[in-house]
Amino acid sequence: MDDLRKHLVNLLNMEGAHIDFDDAVRDFPAELRGARPPGAPHTAWQLLEHMRLAQWDILEFSRDAKHVSPDFP
């Protein structure tokens, strides 16, 4: 049970294989925000906007049973 509790606490604190959001965007070069890296399908700005829309959609779905999710590209 202790291992399960520790794992749950890590998940709730967003600890694990990935860095947290603030660390990921800290000091991100302004000139690269709209640039698409070679071979990547999206820019950093597009990914950030997708995250914003997805969080809004989850919140609205939770608040309104009649909510219809928008089409995502």
pLDDT at 73 over 70: no
- pTM score above 0.75: no
Distance of CA 15 to the CA centre of its chain: 14
Predicted local confidence at residue 44, as pLDDT: 93
Report the first-to-last Cα separation within the chain, whole angstroms: 42
Q: Where are the beta strands (DSSP E) in 1-73?
A: none
pLDDT at 17 over 70: no
The residues, any chain, with a CB within 8 Å of residue 35's CB and separated by 6 or more, are 43, 44
pLDDT at 40 over 90: yes
